[in-house]
Chains A and B, each alone.
Chain A
Amino acid sequence: MIVRQDSRIELNGGFQTVDIDADTDLKLELNIKDSGNLFFRIRNAGKIEIRGTVPEEKNVAILFWNDTDKKIQTVESYEVERDGSLSLAYGECNEGDTLRDVQVSLNGRSAHAGLSSASLVRSRKDYRMFAVNNSERTSAEIKNYAVVLKDGKLMIDAVGKIINGAKRSRSHQVSRALSFEEGQNTTILPELLIDENDVEASHAMSIGRVDENQLYYMMSRGLNMKECTMLISLGYLLPIADIIANEEMRKALREELERKIRELCLM
């Protein structure tokens, strides 16, 4: 389906593709009835607001593929009820700026959320990812992988919050950014706000340049700098697709990532 104005999107199981193609700001409400998968392809939009609740014991995966070279802003807010699970995956390999604010509230016991992004950054990408464990035995996992190219500017603010009383909950996050030359701008702020003692929480973060010895080795077999960048970026970003359980969606993300990484790196 193609969305051009404020809409209510029903998910009744299965796999659904939604193209967002609007000249104006949009409000989308997800009406999730059953476990299933949603693939959002953003072709054109101003500010997009998305709200949704994963009902008890339902399992939902949502993939966003940003396919516009215009600047977009998204404000997303999700709630997950008891034993529900929400996987959010973001593919950002376009040339437009992105300002993203995602909040996931794990409200029911044993609710789970996974937030992951793969970005090839040539413009400005600014993400705020906020996961709150509001109930016992809930788990949140945030994973961000980015390759920052020339003139790219990446900012990730990843926050995991566990409230008092959310016993046996888990909040983990990993953010990694790789660059090939000097002059890129990357800021990653991993934050854990923990108000409960009986929990598991961790964050890992790395920002670094590709080893020059590795580049020399690859170039000594005939590859130029752009080809090396492409191969290393593919290796760095493609595995993010593997966290998507749905095969069709995983395949879609891998293909899109591969196509875009080849295109952008070889430009």
Chain B
Amino acid sequence: MISEKGDDMKTLEISNLHVSVEDKEILRGVDLIVHQGEAHALMGPNGNGKSTLLAAVMGDPRYTVTEGSIIYDGKDVLKMPVNERSIAGLFLGMQYPQEIPGVTNSDFLRAAINVRRETPISLFQFIKQMDKTISDLQMNEDLAHRFLNEGFSGGEKKRNEIVQLEMLKPSLAMLDEIDSGLDVDAIKIVADAISSIRKENNMSLIIVSHYERFLELIRPEFTHVLVNGRIALNGGPELYERIDKEGYDWIYSDYGIEPEKQQKQEKTRISIGSCAVRESLEGKK
């Protein structure tokens, strides 16, 4: 299991990363190094590429890497399929976790744990671990038997991401606005769980969050500000503290950055309830 390799120093090295979605370039040369055990806060105004960066590292098929490299633990991540990236120790706590009807949380997690092991985890050991995790995240006891995220509230989905994080014990976790949708108490529960997993496994973190309160609980040592698809500014905790108080305007004036007008990253997704024809005629509201 990955946790057994706790002493390994696994480094994530992102160099000159360019990423496009449907021919629109979102990331334009991102460089970032995360050493084992470090926590990095990734900040920046909406639509500047924070989620894109995390999705590209995980291998979301909607994003195309057009240039640059991602190396983790000496391996070329871009050559690995999504599942192998996970087995290599990468984890993405998603902003919008998917609902999978028919697949229970416990079947899903057991399968995900077993792909990391040579011999399958015993039922006893699994239940013990699952019970502890459910109690750490203060979730309902029936979680294991419920279908994966189906009918979960926004907050439950986010907590369930951390349940998976605790069960799978990755060496590097990327958390994409995992605190949004959580109430004040839940933020504390989730942050405590993350901090304790981090301590236990020397896990690295890349956190995208707009809330200083959440960052304050995790205390990342590094802060990066992503503007116009590039990292415009690097710093320590003082940087996210200042952004929390003053916003981003001072960065534009102090560092002479001209923020581009935000554009929607994705085309309208057609679904029941939205009329794509009407939206294309009237413009998306």
Contacts and interface: CB of A to CB of B under 8 A. Distances in A.
B100 A218 contact: yes
Given A223-B111, A234-B107, A216 B60 contact: yes
B147 A222 contact: no
Q: What DSSP secondary structure best describes chain B's contact surface?
A: mixed
Contacts of B134: none
Contact of B82 (A211, A220, A235): A220
Among A212, A227, A231, the most chain B Cβ lie within 10 Å of the Cβ of A231
Contacts of A212: 61
A234 to B, nearest CB: 7
B97 interface: yes
Contacts of B65: none
A239 B107 CA distance: 15
Interface in A142-177: none
Interface string B86-107: 1100011010011111111001
B150 to A, nearest CB: 10
Contact of A235 (B86, B112, B147): B147
B259 interface: no
Contacts of B111: 223, 227, 231
A216 B81 CA distance: 10
A235 B101 contact: yes
B83 A224 contact: yes
B115 A231 contact: no
B108 interface: yes
Contacts of A224: 81, 83, 115
A206 interface: no
Contact of A219 (B83, B116, B147): B83
Contact of B112 (A216, A222, A234, A239): A222
A220 B55 CA distance: 10
Interface string A204-222: 0000000111101111111
A222 B116 contact: yes
A213 B116 contact: no
A236 interface: yes
B168 interface: yes
Given A216-B61, A231-B107, A235-B147, A222 B87 contact: yes
A231 B103 contact: yes
A181 to B, nearest CB: 14
Among A212, A222, A235, the most chain B Cβ lie within 10 Å of the Cβ of A222
B103 A235 contact: yes
A214 B168 CA distance: 19
B26 to A, nearest CB: 18
A217 B107 contact: no
A221 B102 contact: no
A235 B102 contact: yes
A220 B58 contact: yes
Contacts of B44: none
Contacts of B82: 216, 219-220
B28 to A, nearest CB: 24
A261 to B, nearest CB: 12
Contacts of A223: 83, 111-112, 115
B228 interface: no
A221 B103 contact: no
Contacts of B168: 221-222
B102 A232 contact: yes
Contact of B59 (A220, A231, A234): A220
B164 interface: yes
Nearest to B90: A220
Contact of A232 (B83, B99, B103, B116): B103
Nearest to B167: A221
A212 B100 CA distance: 11
Contact of A220 (B86, B99, B102, B107): B86
A214 B85 CA distance: 17
10 contacts: A213-B98, A214-B99, A219-B82, A220-B86, A222-B83, A224-B81, A232-B102, A234-B107, A235-B103, A235-B104
Interface of A: 211-214, 216-224, 227, 231-232, 234-236, 238-239
10 tightest CB-CB pairs across the interface, nearest first? A235-B102, A217-B98, A222-B86, A219-B82, A221-B112, A222-B115, A219-B83, A235-B103, A231-B103, A222-B87
Given A220-B83, A220-B91, 10 more contacts: A214-B100, A217-B94, A220-B58, A220-B85, A223-B115, A224-B115, A227-B111, A231-B103, A235-B104, A239-B102
